[in-house]
Structures are given as C-alpha cells and as structure tokens.
C-alpha cells in the first residue's frame, strides 16, 4: 500500500512512518522541519527513515497550497493519507498564536484540499488531541461528550480541525477519521513534554517545576500503543471493500489517569536520582486531569493499550541516555 504522511520528522509521525515502512509499504513523507524544538532531533529521526528505500521525503510547508500542488503527480497512487503535521504545545499557543492558525487550521484545509485531488485515495486520517475536551468536568472523556470549552488556543484549533474534516467528509464524500491523542510519551519524544523535561533536569541536577502543586493527573500513553492503535484501524478499514463515507473521531489513550507525582517518581526510581522540586500553581491553559474513555476504539478496532508508566518510562530514559550520551 502507498501512504502519504505529514509530520514525518515529528514524534508520532516518525514512529508511525517507521512502523509502516517496516511492514513493507511505501511512504511519501512531508515535513517543514521547523525550529519549534531542536532541529537536530528532527533530522536524526529523518535519517533513520531514509534508511528505507521505499521512503520518499519532501521538505514542504503543508499550509502552502502552492508547495503541496507540486506533490500531486507523486501522490496519484496514494491509498491512505495520514495528517500528523501540526503546531503542538498548549502554552506556546499563548506566545505565538499565528503559528497555530497557520499550521492547525490553514494546514488542515490545505491537506484536505490535496487529498480531495487524489483519485484513488481510500481514507484520510488526522491527529486531534485530548485538548479538545478543555474544561469538561465529566470523566473519563468520551467521544460522545460535547467539546465547546477549550482552555487554550491549541485546543480550539484542534476542535476547528475536526469541524473542517467533518465538512470535507460530507461535502466531498471523503472518509475521514480523527484520533484524539492523550499525553503521548516514549523514545524520540518531544523536548517540550514532561518526560523529556523532567529527565533532563533531574540528570543535570536542576530543579523541576511541578504545577498544580503535584495534583495534576494525566492519561500518559506510550508511543507504541498509539502506533499500534493507528495500524489496527488501518488494517480494519483496509479489510473493508469500501470505506464508509463519514467522519469519525476516536480517543487513543491509556485508559488510566495517573498522578503527576507518580510519573515523576518512576523517573526518579529509574534514574536512581531524587528530583529537586518547586511546586507551583496550575498554569493558564492547563487542566487538572485527563482520562480517556476508549470504549469506541476497543469496540471498533480492538484498541488495547498495554504499556504502564513503569514499563514505558524506562524505555524512554534508555533512549534519552543513549541519544544524549547522558
């Protein structure tokens, strides 16, 4: 099969592309390789993907239709399009809102416009986020819940992205599916995420900032479980004679809300170093708790996350020490 994947230099995009390539499929990958975080990490991911002969990379800003149109001939035989390029980060959305409009809204439209011109495309998959649930009180978060009160511009752009996908699905008879990811961590993870920040500072003997006085809870989800879930969904829809022409969203989370203090404790125990902690109030845009209801994902494509933080964090730290020679 032929896959068109955006955001291949990113955390999830890299892992998913590597898995699909290892299964023998072809991947046409795009990424703008921006400097939101260390470009060297993105280039190191790309280097590993380029080891596969059936990986074809193009450095492109997906929000620019003129650049995307250059790919149309190459994409003509694409079976599945997976959109993982985005401007991530809750707090950064307060500092640079334009980046989120450009990548997450204009980019979503540009991607779907491109998909609409691929003649044999079977299905479109895109990344959403648990941030769409915002200030919702009911737990666990269900895809049946209303998403009307995002706590950040990032969350708002993800809600708009889902609305845009739903519109394209209805208007152009384009099957689309969005995955709401919950706090993904693991090897090759982003430097702005908790596992990376805490590990780096603890090793360096620096003080870590623990917000909401440590009372935060997150549905920490290991990257392999996320990738397995997406692959299982692709296998399910590829077994169907024809994808249903509709728009769906699913939660992909660990189905377990963990205390931030417990997450930190596993990092400390794995490193065998006690962290210096500074407890602070809840930050603007943050929520106290996330918790994924994955019943629909389990029912429809047998999604079953298996990795506990006691299993996943040591795998991340092993990669971190190897990558940074720490």
HEC string for the chain: CEEEEECCCCHHHHHHHHHHHHCCCEEEEEECCCCCCCHHHHHHHHHHHCCCCCEEEEECCCCCHHHHHCCCCHHHHCCEEEECCCCCCCCHHHHCHHHHHHHHHHHHHHHHHHHHCCCCCCEEEEEEEHHHHCCCCCCCECCCCCCCCCCCHHHHHHHHHHHHHHHHHHHHCCCEEEEEECCEECCCCCCCCHHHHHHHHHHCCCEEEEEHHHCCEECCEEHHHHHHHHHHHHHHHHCCCCCCCCEEEEEECCCCCEEHHHHHHHHHHHHCCCCEEEEECCCCCCCCECCECCHHHHHHHCCCCCCCHHHHHHHHHHHHHHHHCC
The residues annotated with a catalytic role in the active site are 154
């Amino acid at each position: 099969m032929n896959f068109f994947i955006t955001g291949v230099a990113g955390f999830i995009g890299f892992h998913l592309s590597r898995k699909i390539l290892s299964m023998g499929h072809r991947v046409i990958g795009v990424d703008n390789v921006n400097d939101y975080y260390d470009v060297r990490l993105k280039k190191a991911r790309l280097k590993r993907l380029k080891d596969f002969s059936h990986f074809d990379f193009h450095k492109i800003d997906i929000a620019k239709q003129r650049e995307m149109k250059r790919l149309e001939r190459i994409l003509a035989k694409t079976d599945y399009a997976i959109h993982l390029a985005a401007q991530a980060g809750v707090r950064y959305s307060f500092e640079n809102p334009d980046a989120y409009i450009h990548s997450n809204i204009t980019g979503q439209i540009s991607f779907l416009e491109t998909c609409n011109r691929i003649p044999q495309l079977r299905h479109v998959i895109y990344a959403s986020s648990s941030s769409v649930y915002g200030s919702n009180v009911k737990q666990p978060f269900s895809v049946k819940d209303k998403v009307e009160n995002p706590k950040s511009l990032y969350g708002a752009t993800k809600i708009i992205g889902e609305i845009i996908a739903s519109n394209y699905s209805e208007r152009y008879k384009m099957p689309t599916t969005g995955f709401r990811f919950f706090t993904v961590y693991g090897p090759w993870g982003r430097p702005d995420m908790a596992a990376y920040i805490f590990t780096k500072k603890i090793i360096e003997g620096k003080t870590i900032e623990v917000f909401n006085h440590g009372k935060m809870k997150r549905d920490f989800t290991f990257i392999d479980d996320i990738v397995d879930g997406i692959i299982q969904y692709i296998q399910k829809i590829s077994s169907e004679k024809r994808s249903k022409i509709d728009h769906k969203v699913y939660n992909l989370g660990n189905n377990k809300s963990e205390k931030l203090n417990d997450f930190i404790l596993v990092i400390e125990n794995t490193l065998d170093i006690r962290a210096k902690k500074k407890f602070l109030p809840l930050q603007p845009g943050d929520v106290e708790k996330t918790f994924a209801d994955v019943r629909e994902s389990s029912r429809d494509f047998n999604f079953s996350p298996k990795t506990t933080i006691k299993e996943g964090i040591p795998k991340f730290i092993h990669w971190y020490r190897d990558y940074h020679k720490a």
